[in-house]
Amino acid sequence: MARNELTLGKLIAKGRRRKGWPQRDLAAMIDKSESWVSQVEREVIPVNSLETLRHISDVLDLPLPELLGAAPPPGQPPVSTCRRGASARVGRNLGPEEADDPVRRRELLAAAAVVFASPLTSATPAEASTLAPLEDLLLYGTARVPEGSDVSPAGVAAAVKESRARFRAARYDTLARSLPGQVAQAQALRPAELSATAVADLYNIAARLCIKLGEDGLVAITADRALNSARMGGDALTIAESHRMVSSAWRRQGHLARATDIAVRAAQDVQAARSTPEPTRLAAGSSLLATAAYTAAKMGDRQTAHALIGEAAETAKAGRATADARTDTGVQQVLLHQLSVHYLLGDAGQAIDLAKTIDPSALPTAERQGRFFIDVARCFDQWGKPEQCYRALLAAERAAPQEIRRGAVKGLAGGLLRHDRSLPGIRAFAGRAGVPVN
């Protein structure tokens, strides 16, 4: 049979066998179940997603046009007329996969089940982010107000909200491109007090983005800019978040004791700021205390770390963040820090036990969900369980694809490459995470 006479299912099966893979390995490579692959190859169900076809094309080294043009064998009607109404031919109107579940909560709960018990799956991340425009703004002041921007209190507030939403959704690529212009937009706002607070909020978001992308030098600069602007604006919550970023900058430079002190003092200051409603003050304070606990654990100070994370948990129970909170706060957020504290103190077993009690769908943002699974992966790595570590990394990729470009994930993926024969798809995952793969 000529190659161009193969149906889509048979073409995929032939490509898979040429690679020497069983169906479960192909399933892991394209983020599908073994059953799904089997049904596609047997022409029981169609492939209705162009993205899935591109993924199949990449992993099997099959030309995409050939997959798109796959047709039923000559002399037979289309498969859709002879096999339970399904079609193996790819049409022009590409839509969601038949088995896709649109409810994110169910997806996250399923991902959690994958981490602890289920077969391996994978996903495909977005492109890596670049901070060059932000660096140009910080070093040379080259950013301009985007054409058509609304330089009014409402317009700038909307820009800050948009940037915060992009960070929480783990859309770091889009955020990196838009932040410089939004900072310039906020700087053009008058009166100066409103401008200063908005600029500080944006620089705090920029500092968090730099942390995600491992740009420690830029973390220090953005945190300093944020704190100076926040003090000019006088908003207690923005000042508190700026101190949290300064604490993170000191921690990343190795000044752990100083970083802990900065966060603890800032927590005390914001809780004493009577001009701000108490529940909001407590929520901000709990985030600072959790940050201090993380730093104390990194320093190996077990007693201080546990005391601070306990205080953060109690404070979080009494606090309540507003919809426009400067950072994610609450009991679930403190639990994530507690997970990290256990890991940093070498208590991987305790960390995993805690992780099993956390509902990832209850975490407020994609960024937090991705971080949860990455922290679980680190714990399994520390515990010497590579398969569970890999499962957690794949779950992180599904929750927040751009999270896997972080340095911690690259390190884990690089270590897992030595298990590549027993971890289907690990080499492809490592490549997506930015690890050089020969």
Q: What digits encode the pLDDT tens for the residues 221-278? A: 999 999 999 999 999 999 999 999 999 999 999 999 999 999 999 999 999 988 888 8
Percent residues over pLDDT 90 in the chain: 45
**pLDDT band at 202; cut points 50, 70, 90:** very high
Q: Which of 82-91, 246-255, 282-291 has the lowest mean pLDDT?
A: 82-91
| 194 in any annotated domain | yes
Other beta carbons within 10 Å of 419: 13
Residue whose structure tokens are 């099959």: 62
Q: In this structure, what DSSP letter does residue 423 have?
A: S
Residue 373: which residues within 8 A CB-CB, separation 6 or more? 111, 115, 360, 392, 393, 395, 396, 399
Residues 136 and 96 both lie in one domain: no
Among 234, 268, 297, the domain-final residue is: 234
The structure tokens listed for 53 are: 């076809």
| 90 in any annotated domain | yes
Other beta carbons within 10 Å of 119: 12
**Residues 105-151: pLDDT tens digits?**
656 666 676 676 544 444 544 444 577 888 888 888 777 888 888 99
Domain membership of residue 221 as a residue range: 131-234
| 424 in any annotated domain | no
**Mean pLDDT on 318-343:** 80
Domain count, the chain: 2
Q: Which of 31-35, 283-287, 373-377 has the lowest mean pLDDT?
A: 31-35
| 371 in any annotated domain | no
Among 234, 261, 278, the domain-final residue is: 234
Residue whose structure tokens are 């990455």: 374
Q: How far is residue 163's CA from residue 158's CA, in Å, rounded to a whole number?
A: 9
**Residues 382-438: pLDDT tens digits?**
999 999 999 999 999 999 999 998 888 999 999 998 877 778 889 899 999 888 876
Q: Round the average pLDDT of the chain to a whole number and report it.
A: 82
Would the pTM count as exceeding 0.95? no
**pLDDT band at 220; cut points 50, 70, 90:** very high
Residues 160 and 228 both lie in one domain: yes
Residues 159 and 203 both lie in one domain: yes
Residues 168 and 219 both lie in one domain: yes
Burial (CB count within 10 angstroms: exposed 0-12, middle 13-18, buried 19+), residue 421:
exposed
